[in-house]
Structure 1
Amino acid sequence: MWRRGIIACAGGVIQRQPWWRSITARRSSSLRATSSSAAVNSIILRSLKDHFFEVSKMTPPPKVSPPSPFTVVKGALDSGGAVLKRSYGNEEISISVMRLANIIPGGGGDDDEDDDGINQLFLHVDILKPGQQDSLLFLCGLYPDALGIHSVSMRPKMESSEASALPVLLNRYSGPTFEDLDQKMRDVLHGYIEERGINESLFPFLQAWLYVKDHRDLMRWFKSVGTFVTEAKEGASPA
């Protein structure tokens, strides 16, 4: 047992290893780890700051207004909900939008990445009527010169986003595949939403709106990650 705690010196004298040496080694290792962590944090914060200012200098697109009679939903830029709304007779119509590339990565092909990311939008068109338990939902692809319907379904109104309504929505029959409908029915459904102003005229506004939202979300991301790293740095306690 004793021999495990001793070492031989160069002159052949056997002496016990100082007890404080292992403590110093552990403390030195802890200091090195703390120093390394601080250096990494500093690099991250510098990079975040550089990217934040670079993105902040990007020129926004010209301001575009939605075609009448659509209006912008208040607070839409800071939420994931509807962007546009309008009334049509006794109907309330709301439109949500995403980039098609976010739904089906690479879905538009590889010929032109700009077309995939910018010129193909994915719409949720909700049509509600008073006294009805369900709303009529159109899922559509929107392009600069055309609008295509992916599906048409009935779904329960989720005005309060109740989680209890989700199983009902998932287990419910959503209707036939749009391509399986005959041409006459497809034409009628296209005419139905076009009559309500759902067409390619929405594209310029929604494209510009998504640019502004993406820009705002990216700026917010840089700031929130930087705040997290800074707080972790300041609140960290030495090992």
Structure 2
Amino acid sequence: MWKRALVGAAAATLRRSCVSTVRSSSTISSAVDSMLLRSLKDHYLEVSKMNLPPKVGPPSPFTIVKGALDSNGPVLKRSYNDEEVSVYVTRLASDEDEDGAIHQLFVHVDVSKPGQKESLNFLCGLYEDAVGIHSVSIRPKLQDNAYLIIPSQYTGPVFEELDENMRDAFHSYIEERGVNESLFKFLQAWLYVKEHRNLLRWFKTTGLFIDGKKPATSA
């Protein structure tokens, strides 16, 4: 009898302890969530007040691809005779000075022809006063506004090991299609805007997740 009573009392004490622990953990979790939500909101507001660079248009005859800011697809396109030239842009995360200025861009230039299943792709380093080719490869032809496809087969020799005349000819090839340093200022400003938008979206969607809310969907 006493044994049953002691066991019952111990079980009751354990239940109360568990409830207290759950309540304490729940309180701590709620406080952490609130603190994080306030921090996300403060940073969102801070970033939203940042001044963006002046609007810069792309050099003619390139046009901006619709929806490019919200995708990883091409940024610019143009026609050259019967070809379609698409330009993708990215950068190294560490490539900026103390003021956050971007000095080097990486651009993929995709040249496609009608009726062909593959396209010619150039990876280039783009600077304010120069453009240099890092590699040239044949890749599967991209669909409209598609992401770049990583080739699964041989992509060609190391560009710097090619004959100098061939390297010069490839440089002339992309320059003839409008890929030169004149693209730098537009692509630099475009990246600032994209990164600003992505950062705002990250603060917002992370806050909505922590708060248990679903992001609004477009109609």
TM-score by length of 1: 0.81
Q: Secondary structure at the match of 1:43?
A: helix
Q: Secondary structure at the match of 1:63?
A: coil
Partner of residue 220 from structure 1, selected from 197, 201, 205:
201
Listed one character per residue, the Cα deviations across residues 216-235 of structure 1 (whole Å, up to 9, x for unaligned) are 00000000000000007xxx
**Does 1:185 find its partner at 2:177?**
no
- The letter of the residue matching 2:189 is A
Listed one character per residue, the Cα deviations across residues 121-150 of structure 1 (whole Å, up to 9, x for unaligned) are 110100011111210000001011110100
Q: Tell me the residue number matched to 1:124.
A: 108
Distance 1:70 1:200 in 2: 14
Give matches, 1:31-50, under 5 Å.
31-50=23-42
Q: Tell me the residue number matched to 2:60.
A: 68
Q: Secondary structure at the match of 1:176?
A: coil
Partner of residue 69 from structure 2, selected from 45, 68, 77:
77
Q: Tell me the residue number matched to 1:202.
A: 183
- The letter of the residue matching 2:32 is V
Give matches, 1:65-214, under 5 Å.
65-99=57-91, 101-102=92-93, 113=97, 118-159=102-143, 169-170=151-152, 172-214=153-195
Instruction: Decide whether the 8 Å contact of 2:123 with 2:135 is kept in 1.
Output: yes
Identical positions, percent: 57
Q: How much does 1:161 deviate?
A: 9.1
CA 1:89–1:207: 2 relative to 1, 3 Å: same
CA 1:186–1:194: 2 relative to 1, 3 Å: same
Q: How much does 1:115 deviate?
A: 9.3
Q: Secondary structure at the match of 2:212?
A: helix
Q: Tell me the residue number matched to 2:217.
A: none
Q: How much does 1:113 deviate?
A: 3.7
Q: How much does 1:158 deviate?
A: 3.0
Q: Secondary structure at the match of 1:211?
A: helix
- The letter of the residue matching 1:55 is V
CA 1:114–1:72: 2 relative to 1, 3 Å: farther
What is the aligned length? 212
- The letter of the residue matching 1:203 is F
Distance 1:226 1:147 in 2: 41
- The letter of the residue matching 2:156 is G
Q: Tell me the residue number matched to 1:230.
A: 211
TM-score by length of 2: 0.88
Q: How much does 1:88 deviate?
A: 0.6
Q: Tell me the residue number matched to 2:216.
A: none
Listed one character per residue, the Cα deviations across residues 74-105 of structure 1 (whole Å, up to 9, x for unaligned) are 00001110000000111100000001x14xxx
Q: How much does 1:205 deviate?
A: 0.2
